[in-house]
Structure formats: C-alpha cells, structure tokens
Amino acid sequence: MRRYMFLRIVDALSNVYPYFQQRVDATGRRGLSPLQKCTAAIRILAYGVAADAVDNYVRIGESTTIECLKKFVEGVILVFENEYLRKPNSNDVRRMLQMAEGRDFPGMLGSID
C-alpha cells in the first residue's frame, strides 16, 4: 500500500472514529497511536498473520490487536462506504470495461483473481 493511501485511511478514521484517536490515561501516559492501531489491522488483513504475531512489529497485545481489527473494519465501512463500497454506476462500468479491454479482457468487469 502506498504511504499516502495508508495515511489517508489513518487520518479519516482518526477524524471520524473516536477509537482511533490517541488518548492519555489517568497516569498521564499516552495510549496507542492511530498509526499503531491501523498498522496492526492492515498487517493482519494484508499478510494473514495471527493477532499475536503483530506484537513483535507494532508492540500491541493480542486482544488489543483483535479489537483494532474489528474497529478498523467498522471504521472503514463507516467512513468509506458511500465512496468505495457501493455498486458501480454506469460511468464506473464504462471505465472498468475500458480498462479490461486495454488488458485484453474485453467485456470483463474486475479481476479474475
């Protein structure tokens, strides 16, 4: 994933979803940053690793990683549903058909993967 795309997701989630905002606890210590939470969730989704495997890289415990993943999915749906998680309109279909034709797959929408 490109850096600007990752930072756009982190920024959007932290602006809309309180879970992804960094907080300070009663002792004055900072909690996990939005970058840590999103990195943990994306690593699980991208690489299919177990939740406890993320601890070595991001420094988050297994239960917190699972919570981050659940909240990440909820947040992405909440923030990006209207823009990206919708049925394609006629302009989208036309654009995808042109892209497929350029790849020698005329009449095909999407990927065969």
In a domain, residue 7? The reply is yes
In a domain, residue 98? The reply is no
For residue range 27-75, what is the model confidence (pLDDT) as tens digits?
999 999 999 999 999 999 999 988 888 887 788 889 999 999 999 999 9
Distance CA 78, CA 16 (A): 9
What's the total number of domains in the chain? 1
Look up the domain containing 35 and give its range: 3-86
Written as six digits, the tokens of 62 are: 């297994």
In a domain, residue 95? The reply is no
For residue range 4-22, what is the model confidence (pLDDT) as tens digits?
999 999 999 999 999 999 9
In a domain, residue 76? The reply is yes
- 12 φ, ψ to 5°? -65, -45
In a domain, residue 54? The reply is yes
In a domain, residue 94? The reply is no
In a domain, residue 77? The reply is yes
In a domain, residue 80? The reply is yes
